[in-house]
Amino acid sequence: MIRAFLILILAVSTAQATVWGQGVSGELHWKEQLTLEDYTLTLADFSLEEKLMVLVELQEDERPIARRALHAGEWFVINDSLRISALKIVEGADKDEPYAIVRMQLPSAPEISLILSFDNDIYRGGEDIKMLLSVENRGAVDAEDLKITVDSSPPIFSRRFNISSLLAGSAWDDKKKTAQTDPIRIDLVAPYMLEAGDLQVRVHAQYTDPDGNSHQSWGGGKAHISGPLRLYKRVEETQELSESYYVINSLSNYGNRTFSVDLSDSTGKEFHSNETLQWKIVLEPGQTKTVSYCIKPIEPAMGISLPDAVASFRMGKRIYTIHSNRPVIDVTGPLIDAKRSISPKRVKAGEEVMISLELENRGNRKAVLTMAEMVPQGAELISGELNESFMLSPGEKAARKIRLRVMDPDGISIPSSMVRYRDVRGNDYSTRTSALRVTVEEEEVSSPSDPSRNDTGGSGMSKVSDLGDGQADYPSPDRENRDDERLIPGSIDHRVVESGSGLGHRLSILLILIILLLSVALGRYL
């Protein structure tokens, strides 16, 4: 009797020693399943007699291990590792299927949390790294024989800590004499690295539960270790289009050795520099050197990012490279785009042409423009303003028209003109328009009545008409001074159009006129 009582007490104490976790639960209909880790529970059947029952089948790794019939509220345990409970059984209405709410639970286990923190995010070689490791048992049972290992990659240090037990819900206290809970403190010196990289710190905990089952947890963090060289680029963040500015590159050696460094830089397409942007620098430990050069903006724009400067050094067979920051610049100022054209480009003497000037402010500041056009030699102004001053806001456009009459039979040439403008600060700018050319075409002359008498036979010379009854109509003085046309004596005025240019050609025409006049005089005499 006493032996049976002791066995019962032992059984009760053993049952109370197992703490079950929350597990999983679900509403199962006929043939539906519930899974927890490697276990699968199937609701095989219902018994809907006076007292409702369910038949469940349990598998581990698809291997049947148990088959039980349960009333609502009953449960069973398999090998102290899994508990199956029937929480509720519902018969269902006429059209509803019966179902049961069942739960699967694993024994509770200690759960060690490992949280590692750093005092900084970035370290230089030789600086102190201070870490704090918080260890807490968040499980429902105690953790026993707790061993903690802390190491790194690359492998520069390794530490070990251990404690016999850590109660459920409690944290590791590294200084028990203080009122607060103190985490484990770990100090080390940042290594000198030839290039920037991360120092990975790994934390591994091994422990057992009260039943002797083994468990483990992982944690850790990383610290960024900068390389031995630091390259910083600075420049004015706001610039005016008309000014030049200095870019300064600072190169510092935070390492423990001397480096021979090749430094190069570039302006990008938005800026211009006349200097060669390459340098050779020798840096000793703890030394800083600067180089500077001048840049000028090419056009206004906001948020321009300069290219990064690049420093490199060789160590053994490998070349290490360091990049600077990329400064962002706002360039302010007006920028006038001037386009000039003429139409038509081929005319006859005395016809009109139109000069069109299109202006646009592509900058981000207002501009006051001053225009000064000119009438070329051999042309007359019909309409349009030659000298004008006006304002253009950013993005604004303007158009101007000038009408000319072409008088010179050799055509006219309009040289490139200067458009000057300034901003509100008084900074002066200018841009040029394109040169223009108008060609004068020859007029077609009617065929002479007597080709044998009037054909000049000269290449590039126009033909003249018959002299008629010999009446000479001498040209007036004002017409003699014009280069585009000359009148020939006769009953009908005909024009001799020059097909070329130059003194020799005009002398040829004069000689022909003299011969014709002599012919007329001889005709009257005879």
Q: Note the pLDDT tens digit of each residue in 253-296.
A: 999 999 999 999 999 999 999 999 999 999 999 999 999 999 99
Name the nearest CA neighbour of 494 among 503, 502, 481, 485. 485
Q: What is the DSSP string of 416-448?
A: --EEEEE-TT--EEEEEPPPEEEEEPPPPPPPP
Which residues are 197's β-sheet partners?
Answer: 225
**Long-range contacts of range 507-513, CB-CB < 8 Å, 24 or more positions apart?**
508/458, 508/461, 509/461, 512/456, 512/461, 512/464, 513/488
**Would you say residue 408 has pLDDT above 80?**
yes
pLDDT score, position 21: 78
Q: Which CATH superfamily is domain 229-332 in?
A: Immunoglobulins (2.60.40.10)
Strand 184-189 to strand 82-90: parallel, antiparallel, or no bridges (unpaired)?
A: unpaired
- Judge contact between 195 and 208, C-beta under 8 A: no
The total of other beta-carbon atoms located within 10 Å of residue 411's CB is 19
**Would you say residue 6 has pLDDT above 50?**
no
C-alpha span between 506 and 164 (Å, rounded): 122
Comparing 384 with 22, the larger pLDDT belongs to 384
Position 65 confidence tier, pLDDT thresholds 50, 70, 90: very high
- Read off the amino acid at residue 274: N
Mean pLDDT value across the chain: 85
The helix (H) or strand (E) run that includes residue 12 is helix 2-17
pLDDT score, position 510: 79
Q: What is the largest CA-CA distance in the chain?
A: 181
Instruction: Tell if the pTM clears 0.85, that is, is over it.
Output: no
pLDDT tens, position by position, 107-145: 888 999 999 999 999 999 999 999 999 999 998 899 999
336-440 — its CATH code? 2.60.40.10
Q: In what order do the strands lie in the sheet with 229-234?
A: 229-234, 245-253, 288-297, 271-272
Percent of the chain with pLDDT over 70: 83
pLDDT score, position 462: 34
**Would you say residue 512 has pLDDT above 50?**
yes
C-alpha span between 61 and 63 (Å, rounded): 5
pLDDT score, position 22: 78
Strand 214-225 to strand 158-166: parallel, antiparallel, or no bridges (unpaired)?
A: unpaired
pLDDT score, position 444: 64
Percent of the chain with pLDDT over 90: 69
Contacts of residue 518, Cβ cutoff 8 Å, sequence gap at least 6: none
User: Top-level CATH class of 112-226?
Assistant: mainly beta
pLDDT tens, position by position, 488-504: 333 334 333 344 445 55
**Would you say residue 203 has pLDDT above 60?**
yes
Lowest mean pLDDT among 135-144, 202-211, 214-223, 440-449: 440-449
**Would you say residue 71 has pLDDT above 60?**
yes
pLDDT tens, position by position, 353-397: 999 999 999 999 999 999 888 899 999 999 999 999 999 999 999
**Would you say residue 481 has pLDDT above 80?**
no
